[in-house]
């Protein structure tokens, strides 16, 4: 009998993995999936949920969100929280692209205002914002400047002329985690980060010009400043080679640490250390520094997007009201306080391929959004819709204030290249009115919409279970891919 046969349906779109399926489990598992997604879910991802539930200090549930799929150690679309008193920290619960995240920029433009300039805009954005594997940014940092980027994040970018001071108010953590320490980041990670700052990257990262297609909640959309027909821009990018190297460095550290601390692991990819250990604290400080790098990276791209719109449309970014709606992190572990049985409990919440979805009243979100909950940005795949939702009290109670981060892959990149022809995809996108610029034909095949889960279904499950509620749907007009 497989583990799947023991999983019980708790309510519509919520399944429970009983803590009895493995005698080493210290908590049960929760899966937020509809029946079709549950049936299609690979056993490996379920095994990973069980393995996480065996880790020391795991609190309540190991969680699989609607976009769950097999990953390194933790599944992508996975969330787990560990008690600071007796729990652990695991780089596998964050992933290689630390603070891969999404930013949404609004405008006061309508689609008709840019229709005849769309080709120019996407060509200029493709030129002005470097993308692709190993792509280099437009600026050359001095060697000592990388430490300031790692320690101060988006604050550094704004202070150096990349954006507006008010931008910081609507970024998760205001674009900087203060506990970051660049001294804990290796020279190799810094060397990889120096040339790549201000670049989009490759894979599922993208920059899109979009239009707000539907509004589901007028009140919340009004608070977020979104209107039907409004042109918006979405950035999906992360910490580039810097974050990847930080993860690689500390996986080696943790591979020794879990043995030294005599932690019993079901999977070596879950290599970890106790929260209060030197290894865990060093990793957290380095990971926060990489997260700061990612916020600075997206901040610089925001600046160049504004400049591009100014150049092509002949108006100032201020006149076009190119304000940031919000910026969310996907791959991160954070020290947070959550309620449990009426008491505050300090946890290290690992979100891997998961978006924070803090509900109304949370002091961690911008004051202007506090009454309705934070904006949740769930990007689609190339050519499909993306969504804006809002955080909820249900998420706070059930998922440590978390929801899905995107569509989630169902095909490997190599399989996608076998199954899809770039020319056919481009023709389909063109038929749907979507313009595309990509560094290579292979990228177009690798990122084919059919290589991913249906984002509409992922969002529908988030909405129906209440872990994030729908606010708006945005559809692409033009996309640049690395």
- Residue 323 annotated as lining a ligand binding site: no
Predicted confidence band of residue 440 (pLDDT cuts 50, 70, 90)? confident
Catalytic residue among 244, 303, 350, 405: 405
Residue-level pLDDT at 411: 83
Chain center to CA of 458:
15
- Residue 456 annotated as lining a ligand binding site: no
DSSP per residue over 371-420, as a string? Answer: TT--EEEE---TTS-EEEEE--HHHHHHSSSEEE-S--BSS-HHHHHHH-
- Domain locations along the chain: 100-410+452-481
- Residue 303 annotated as lining a ligand binding site: no
- Residue 379 annotated as lining a ligand binding site: yes
User: Are the CB atoms for 58 and 270 separated by under 8 Å?
Assistant: no
Residue-level pLDDT at 350: 98
Cα separation, 48 vs 69, whole angstroms: 10
Residue-level pLDDT at 448: 86
Token reading at 282 = 């060093």
- Residue 463 annotated as lining a ligand binding site: no
- Residue 77 annotated as lining a ligand binding site: no
Token reading at 302 = 């925001």
Q: Residue 101 pLDDT more than 80? A: yes
Residue-level pLDDT at 438: 85
- 350 in active site: no
Q: Residue 407 pLDDT more than 90? A: no
Residue-level pLDDT at 69: 95
- Residue 382 annotated as lining a ligand binding site: yes
Region 125-131 average pLDDT: 88
**% of the chain surpassing 90 pLDDT:** 84
Region 373-382 average pLDDT: 95
User: Are the CB atoms for 333 and 93 separated by under 8 Å?
Assistant: yes
Q: Residue 135 pLDDT more than 80? A: no
- Residue 350 annotated as lining a ligand binding site: no
User: Are the CB atoms for 419 and 80 separated by under 8 Å?
Assistant: no
Residue-level pLDDT at 447: 86
- Residue 292 annotated as lining a ligand binding site: no
Enclosing H/E stretch for 60: strand 58-69
Region 86-113 average pLDDT: 98
- CA torsion 416-420-426-428 (nearest 10°) is -110
- Residue 405 annotated as lining a ligand binding site: yes
Region 352-361 average pLDDT: 98
Predicted confidence band of residue 412 (pLDDT cuts 50, 70, 90)? confident
Region 276-303 average pLDDT: 98
Residue-level pLDDT at 133: 64
Q: Residue 134 pLDDT more than 80? A: no
Residue-level pLDDT at 460: 98
- Residue 208 annotated as lining a ligand binding site: yes
Residue-level pLDDT at 215: 98
Q: Residue 138 pLDDT more than 80? A: no
Q: What is the mean pLDDT of the chain?
A: 95
Residue-level pLDDT at 255: 98
Query: Which of 124-138, 268-282, 327-341, 349-363 shows the lowest mean pLDDT across its residues?
Result: 124-138
Residue-level pLDDT at 132: 58
Chain center to CA of 156:
21
Overall pTM surpassing 0.85 (yes/no): yes
Cα separation, 133 vs 15, whole angstroms: 38
Residue-level pLDDT at 364: 96
Which one is predicted more confidently, 29 or 448? Answer: 29
The domain 100-410+452-481 is placed in CATH, from the list 3.40.50.2300, 3.40.50.720, 3.90.700.10, 3.90.1860.10, at: 3.90.1860.10
Residue-level pLDDT at 2: 86
- Residue 205 annotated as lining a ligand binding site: yes
CA distances from 279 to 184, 333, 424 (A): 10, 15, 49
- Residue 37 annotated as lining a ligand binding site: no
- Residue 97 annotated as lining a ligand binding site: yes
Q: Residue 176 pLDDT more than 90? A: yes
Region 271-283 average pLDDT: 98
- Residue 236 annotated as lining a ligand binding site: yes
Region 7-22 average pLDDT: 96
């Amino acid at each position: 009998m497989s583990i799947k046969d023991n999983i019980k349906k708790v309510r519509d779109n919520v399944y429970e993995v009983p803590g009895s399926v493995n005698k080493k489990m210290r908590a049960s598992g929760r899966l937020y999936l509809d029946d079709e997604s549950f049936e299609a879910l690979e056993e490996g991802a379920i095994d990973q949920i069980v393995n996480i539930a065996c880790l020391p200090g795991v609190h309540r549930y190991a969680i699989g969100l609607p976009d769950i799929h097999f990953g390194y150690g933790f599944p992508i679309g996975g969330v787990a929280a560990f008690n600071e008193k007796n729990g652990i920290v695991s780089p596998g619960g964050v992933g290689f692209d630390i603070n891969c995240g999404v930013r949404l920029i609004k405008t006061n433009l309508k689609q008709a205002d840019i229709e005849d300039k769309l080709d120019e805009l996407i060509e200029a954005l493709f030129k002005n914002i470097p993308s692709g594997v190993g792509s280099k940014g437009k600026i050359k940092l001095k060697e000592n400047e990388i430490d300031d980027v790692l320690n101060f994040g988006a604050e550094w970018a704004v202070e150096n002329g990349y954006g507006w001071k008010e931008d910081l108010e609507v970024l998760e953590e205001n674009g900087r985690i203060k506990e970051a320490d660049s001294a804990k980041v290796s020279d190799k990670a810094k060397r990889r980060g120096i040339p790549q700052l201000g670049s989009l990257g490759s894979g599922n990262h993208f920059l899109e010009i979009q239009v707000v297609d539907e509004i589901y909640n007028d009140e919340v959309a009004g608070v977020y400043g979104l209107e039907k027909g409004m042109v918006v821009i979405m950035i999906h990018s992360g910490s580039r080679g810097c974050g990847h190297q930080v993860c690689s460095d500390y996986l080696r550290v943790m591979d020794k640490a879990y043995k030294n601390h005599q932690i019993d692991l079901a999977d070596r990819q879950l290599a970890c250390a106790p929260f209060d250990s030197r290894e865990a604290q060093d990793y957290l400080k380095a990971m926060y520094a990489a997260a700061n790098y990612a916020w600075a990276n997206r901040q610089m791209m925001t600046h160049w997007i504004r400049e591009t719109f100014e150049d092509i449309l002949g108006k100032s970014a201020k006149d076009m009201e190119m304000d940031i709606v919000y910026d969310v992190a996907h791959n991160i572990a954070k020290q947070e306080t959550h309620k449990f049985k009426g008491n505050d409990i300090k946890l290290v919440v690992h979100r891997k391929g998961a978006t924070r979805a803090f509900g109304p009243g949370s002091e961690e979100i911008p004051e202007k959004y506090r009454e309705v909950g934070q904006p949740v940005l769930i990007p689609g795949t190339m050519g499909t819709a993306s969504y804006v939702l809002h955080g909820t009290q249900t998420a706070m109670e059930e998922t440590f204030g978390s929801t899905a981060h995107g569509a989630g892959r169902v095909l490997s990149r190599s399989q996608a290249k076998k199954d899809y022809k770039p020319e056919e995809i481009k023709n389909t996108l063109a038929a749907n009115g979507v313009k595309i610029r990509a560094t290579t034909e292979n990228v177009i095949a690798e990122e084919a919409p059919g290589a991913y889960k249906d984002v509409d279904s992922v969002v529908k499950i988030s909405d129906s279970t209440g872990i994030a509620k729908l606010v708006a749907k945005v559809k692409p007009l033009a996309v640049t891919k690395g």
